[in-house]
Amino acid sequence: MQSSMKHKIPLILMVIGMTALVVAISAVGILFSRGRYTTVGKEVSDAASAAEVSDTNTQASQSLAAQTKQDSVSVSKGGKTDSFDAVFYAKRLYELKYLFAIDGFNQVSELPVSAAVQFAFCHLYYDSLVDMPNEKDMFFRQVLPESVSSKLQQLFGENKIDVTQSDLYNPNKKVVEMWQPNYRKSVYADVVCSNLGNEAYEIAATFYIAKDKEKVDSIVSGTFKKDGEGYILKSMKTKQ
């Protein structure tokens, strides 16, 4: 009996050692996978908490953007007042044109629902999408449709966009969800800003393909109107 156990002990020890090795390798693999590929974002329960998240991310975005961005945006004719920043809102036109394939609209109802919802969704976290941090990880976001509706109103004013009709809406979970794309881009533009009176401004932005501004890519204009603490985009059009 004792002799039999002596022969089995090395085998038992070998099995235990191999099991421990497999567990250790699996743990390292899980940690590596999490660190490199996915980071799950927190669910935003309402518009107020969404605004807090946006403020926090905006500060981080501006800090990192100052280090690595290579924008070349010049403004003529009163580009910045105490409350209106022509460069900031010219970038918003760039976002709609180049990131969301929207050439223009006269009324908010003309906007494609899914594109408008995604635009508002992303702006819950970043005030300027082209200046967002250059994150290595992807973020999976989930928010309540009420939060997106509130942000749509902040961006475009009163509207009847039904967030639940968007491709991003999950009817089973009753949330809007998506993987956060990295929209960080350098913007090359010449901007003319006109004061229309009654706290309204028109921006005409000539966007270029490269920083040398030798080749024009498009000319986009938009009318912004004071609404609450910010400005809403009332209309937009692309000239070329």
pLDDT in tens, 22-42: 445 444 343 333 333 333 344
Domain spans of the chain, in order of start: 39-238
By percentage, how much of the chain surpasses pLDDT 70?
Answer: 70
125: pLDDT confidence band, cut at 50, 70 and 90?
Answer: very high
By percentage, how much of the chain surpasses pLDDT 90?
Answer: 62
- Kindly state the average pLDDT of the residues 194-204: 94
Q: What is the pLDDT of residue 70?
A: 84
10-19, 45-54, 164-173 — which one is most confidently predicted on average?
164-173
Annotate the chain with DSSP letters as a single string: -HHHHHHHHHHHHHHHHHHHHHHHHHHHHHHHHHHHTEEEPPPB-SHHHHHHHHHHHHHHHHHHHHHH---EEEEESS-B-SS-BHHHHHHHHHIIIIIS----BSSGGGS-HHHHHHHHHHHTT-S-GGGS---SSEEEEEE-HHHHHHHHHHHH-S----GGGSTTEETTTTEEEEEE-------EEEEEEEEEETTEEEEEEEEESSTT--SEEEEEEEEEEEETTEEEEEEEEE--
Q: What is the pLDDT of residue 176?
A: 98
Does the model's pTM come out above 0.75? no
- Average pLDDT of the chain is 81
Residue 188 pLDDT > 90: yes
Residue 211 pLDDT > 80: yes
Q: What is the pLDDT of residue 135?
A: 81
